């Protein structure tokens, strides 16, 4: 099978007359240089008295005057300057006559038979130089305008599509063997490859291949990798462009590039056209005032995808992570017939992805990719590849030949928690951070619905002064209200601990409050988990925001409904905050012990946390669901895989 090679586009002058412009510019440059630059070196300047001495000695053959300037030629070359360290032999000279009349000069030069010439003060330029200087700027400007207009002509220059075209080369070929962890999406595309290899088998039974396949999924899940794998498996020309490459400042260029791209694909059929980040040109029409460049480009794309014949054998692949903003006309059958959702990988998928990315990485015997996959819920393929690469860099930095388990988990912490910073905190700030993180960790241990606490540290990482890391036991696809409430309570545990211990608050809970508010907003306005607001869903009623509570002319949420939703969100957050304070007040002894251990060791793993808290008896736990608390067993769809959260 032919391999893949990336051919960069070559710029060509499609109009033959454009080749006249560079030679013309060179000729103009040469003429200007000849006019402005002196042909011979200037003769040396000599004193007027020295000039008269040479005339008196009979060593001057000819002089030419122009005003007070005198230029002449010696009969025999003289050494000049006479008293200089390295005098040179010169045969020409120049001098300047004094401002007072010298009546004896004329008789002297006549007596010595010196040839005298005279020139006017201003002889003017040659006639042809004037014409050249007058028309040269016009010629240059006209040439540039012609060149720019030709570049804007459809099919040339700015209007010409320059897709990256992949053709055979084994070293860069990507196949389905390089794609792991997204088996369902890969299986959807195997049929596309089979059609491109043997289209007659499908046509004999009256089947037609989908004209367009839209890959939808979060960033980093492997949509572009899937498209390249399709090209590598099918062995057909693969034209790849990003959606932003169609859009230019000049209106009409994007539409011209769309036409040219599909024309190239039809000439090379069977072929694949891949448009990455199609939301850059495929956003719903009507969101902007007036038919601008983006809307014209989308209209042309719709026309081209409608213009396929059954025998074209051109398949359009596109990728996006914003399906909600695409124009409905683009998504209908006949254009993008098939939508392939690329989900975040589950535990087994993550292990397969790690196996692919560690093929060329020497691993120590103690490395378990299964354990690493279990510790990385919610991570996508690009993030897992980054973890492996960071671990390899750490091993090389430490002078090791193999990557060990601690390298992989240190790389994971760098990715999830951030890079450790050498920040010296004041003793009072360090104590406050310890209690803040202890509050997060303790609530994660006390509430049975919360995710297990894997690590808590007061070492500053990233933008946080401390981090509590919680990882779920299994991948979550559907979560209960109890679980979400436990996350809310845990997010507010740091703020509650500061209030309980110090009696005041700081800015350290900024990120916690942002996460808690966002989660409470989704629980209230998307998942129907608020008794005060009811089962109304405001998802998708307000632009790009997930909730859409701003009351503007373009929104379908009334001011009264928005106010009710905000009150329900505030009540949910306040109730969870009160629950966090109550838990920490009951568990004050454990809170103090955990904070002291953090001050002493700075970082605690799961086993160390239990070691610190085990000798201290637990306070009686109140069952929130049975005593009117904030947790009820209501199941909701969490819109995909669990995304691990850290609290700082």
Catalytic site residues? 437
Residue 94: beta bridge partners? 45, 71
Measure the CA–CA gap between 112 and 52, rounded to whole angstroms.
11
Measure the CA–CA gap between 231 and 235, rounded to whole angstroms.
6
Question: Can you give the C-alpha Rg of the chain in angstroms?
Answer: 40
Q: Which two tokens stand for residue 166?
A: 């992949």
Are the C-beta atoms of 440 and 451 separated by less than 8 Å?
no
Measure the CA–CA gap between 509 and 532, rounded to whole angstroms.
27
Measure the CA–CA gap between 35 and 29, rounded to whole angstroms.
10
Measure the CA–CA gap between 617 and 278, rounded to whole angstroms.
58
DSSP per residue over 561-625, as a string?
HHHHHHHHHHHHHHHHHHHHHHHHHHTHHHHHHHHHHHHHHSEEEHHHHHHHHTTSPPPPPP-TT
Q: Which two tokens stand for residue 269?
A: 């059929």
10 Å Cβ neighbour count for 613?
Answer: 21
Measure the CA–CA gap between 380 and 290, rounded to whole angstroms.
39
- Between the alpha carbon of residue 60 and those of residues 52, 76, 115, 480, the distances in Å are 9, 8, 9, 112
CA 208 to chain centre: 37
Measure the CA–CA gap between 550 and 548, rounded to whole angstroms.
6
Where do we find the tokens 């560079």?
Answer: 22
Closest listed residue to residue 341, CA positions, set 532, 513, 183: 183
H/E run at residue 214: strand 212-216
Measure the CA–CA gap between 548 and 536, rounded to whole angstroms.
13
φ, ψ of residue 570 in degrees (nearest 5):
-60, -40
- Between the alpha carbon of residue 49 and those of residues 72, 104, 340, the distances in Å are 14, 12, 98
Contacts by 611-615 with C-beta closer than 8 Å and gap 24+? 613/445
Measure the CA–CA gap between 253 and 245, rounded to whole angstroms.
10
Q: Which residues contact 480 (CB under 8 A, 6 or more apart)?
A: 449, 633, 634, 635, 636
Q: Which two tokens stand for residue 629?
A: 């608390």
Taking the CA atoms of residue 279, residue 281, residue 286 and residue 291 in that order, the dihedral angle to the nearest 10 degrees is 170
- Between the alpha carbon of residue 431 and those of residues 210, 588, 596, the distances in Å are 62, 15, 9
């Amino acid at each position: 099978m032919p391999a893949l090679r990336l051919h960069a586009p070559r710029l060509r002058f499609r109009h033959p007359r454009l080749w006249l412009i560079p030679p013309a510019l060179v000729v103009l440059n040469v003429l200007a240089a000849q006019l402005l630059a002196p042909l011979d070196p200037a003769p040396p300047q000599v004193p007027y008295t020295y000039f008269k001495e040479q005339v008196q000695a009979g060593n001057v053959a000819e002089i030419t005057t122009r005003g007070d300037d005198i230029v002449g030629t010696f009969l025999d070359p003289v050494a000049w300057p006479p008293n200089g360290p390295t005098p040179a032999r010169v045969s020409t000279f120049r001098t300047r006559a004094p401002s007072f009349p010298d009546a004896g000069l004329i008789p002297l030069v006549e007596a010595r038979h010196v040839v005298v010439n005279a020139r006017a003060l201003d002889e003017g330029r040659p006639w042809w130089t004037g014409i050249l200087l007058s028309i040269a700027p016009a010629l240059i400007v006209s040439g540039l305008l012609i060149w720019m207009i030709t570049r804007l002509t459809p099919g040339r220059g700015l209007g010409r599509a320059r897709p990256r075209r992949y053709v055979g080369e084994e070293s860069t070929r990507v196949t389905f063997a390089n794609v792991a962890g997204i088996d369902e999406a890969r299986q959807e595309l195997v049929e596309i490859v089979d059609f491109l290899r043997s289209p007659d088998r499908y046509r004999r039974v009256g089947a037609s291949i989908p004209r367009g396949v839209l890959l939808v999924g979060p960033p980093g899940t492997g949509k572009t990798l899937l498209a390249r794998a399709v090209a590598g498996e099918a062995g057909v020309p693969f034209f790849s462009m990003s959606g932003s490459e169609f859009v230019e400042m000049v209106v009409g260029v994007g539409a011209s590039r769309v036409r040219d791209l599909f024309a190239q694909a039809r000439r090379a059929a069977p072929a694949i056209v891949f448009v990455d980040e199609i939301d850059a040109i495929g956003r719903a029409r009507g969101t902007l005032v007036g038919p601008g460049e983006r809307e014209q480009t989308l209209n042309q794309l719709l026309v081209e995808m409608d213009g396929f014949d059954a025998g074209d054998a051109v398949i359009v692949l596109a990728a996006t992570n914003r399906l909600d903003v695409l124009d409905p006309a683009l998504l209908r059958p006949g254009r993008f017939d098939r939508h392939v959702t690329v989900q975040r990988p589950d535990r087994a998928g993550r292990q397969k992805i790690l196996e692919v990315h560690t093929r060329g990485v020497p691993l120590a015997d103690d490395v378990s990719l299964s354990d690493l996959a279990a510790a990385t819920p919610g991570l996508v393929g690009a993030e897992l590849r980054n973890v492996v690469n960071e671990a390899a860099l750490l091993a090389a930095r430490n002078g090791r030949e193999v990557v060990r388990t601690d390298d992989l988990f240190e790389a994971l912490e760098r990715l999830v928690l951030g890079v450790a910073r050498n920040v010296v905190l004041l003793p009072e700030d360090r104590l406050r951070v310890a209690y803040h993180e202890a509050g997060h960790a303790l609530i994660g241990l006390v509430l049975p619905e919360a995710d297990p606490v894997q690590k808590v540290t007061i070492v500053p990482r990233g933008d946080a002064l401390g981090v509590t890391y919680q990882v779920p036991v299994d991948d979550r696809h559907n979560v209960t209200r109890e679980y979400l409430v436990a996350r809310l309570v845990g997010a507010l545990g740091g703020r509650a601990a500061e209030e309980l211990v110090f009696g005041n608050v700081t800015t350290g809970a900024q990120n916690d409050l942002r996460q808690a508010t966002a989660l409470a907003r989704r629980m209230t306005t998307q998942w129907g988990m608020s008794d005060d607001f009811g089962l109304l869903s405001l998802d998708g009623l307000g632009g790009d925001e997930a909730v859409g509570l701003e009351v503007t002319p373009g929104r379908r949420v009334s001011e009264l409904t928005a106010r009710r939703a905000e009150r329900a969100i505030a009540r949910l957050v306040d109730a969870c905050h009160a629950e966090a304070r109550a838990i920490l007040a009951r568990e004050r002894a454990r809170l103090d012990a955990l904070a002291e251990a953090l001050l002493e060791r700075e970082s605690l793993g799961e086993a160390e946390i239990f070691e610190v808290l085990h000798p201290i008896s637990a306070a009686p736990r109140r069952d929130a669901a049975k005593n009117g608390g904030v947790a009820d067993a209501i199941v909701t769809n969490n819109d995909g895989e669990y995304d691990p959260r850290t609290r700082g």
